[in-house]
A = this chain, B = another copy of it.
Amino acid sequence: VLRTPQRREVTLLFCDVRGSTTLSENAAPEVWVAQLNEYLTQMTLAIFSFDGYLDKFMGDGIMAVWNAFGNQPDHAELATRAGLQMFRRLEFLNKKWANMPDRTPFRIGIGLHTGEPVMGNVGSEERTQFTAIGDAVNTAARIESMCKQFGAEFIISEATAERVKELFALRELGETEVRGRAATIRIFEIVRDTAATPEGGEARDATRKEEAGEESAD
């Protein structure tokens, strides 16, 4: 589907596996790829459960967008709920993997940012992909990369926090510089233990279809 490029308010999600480089160097290639694919399948299901657009994988990294098209005014909330479900799905995977001799537990970091990138079909004549480009994308990636520095698992920017602060328990972490920007932006951690099951959260989660596919076509 060709869409006219447009600047839109979206919420961007980046997710990465911590220390995956070291893990991957020590694993047999077919074992590592099998574990990675099992992981990415579960994370994708969490994204689709909350109607997110899977933008791309980058190795073990994931980029997803809410309000990429259509009308999703609650994009920040949906992205946060998807992130929380990603952690829950990872807990199940890690429990399963604990009983398998050739699996290593994963730890992940998730970052969210709400901004106004350009959404459009970007690429060469032979291969275009509907994706987000611009400043907001770099900022979202940068926020995810802060997880390691702050020892946090789930960090959101001030712009996202303003839209979800009534819905989830947040802890301010401080400020961070963003490449190419003079100003710093405030970042917040989603407090998972108290925020995991707010009133209605699980119910909504459960009723959303988890079949994938429609949104994933390039």
Contacts and interface: CB of A to CB of B under 8 A. Distances in A.
A7 B30 CA distance: 9
A29 to B, nearest CB: 4
A129 to B, nearest CB: 7
A25 B116 CA distance: 10
Contact of A180 (B22, B29, B54, B131): B22
B37 A124 contact: yes
A150 interface: no
A21 B216 CA distance: 26
B212 A135 contact: no
**Best-surrounded residue of A29, A60, A131, A137 (most CB of chain B within 10 A):** A29
Contact of A118 (B29, B54, B126, B180): B29
Interface string A118-132: 101111111111011
Contact of A58 (B19, B24, B56): B56
A33 B126 contact: no
A50 to B, nearest CB: 16
Contact of A21 (B29, B45, B60, B180): B180
A123 B40 contact: yes
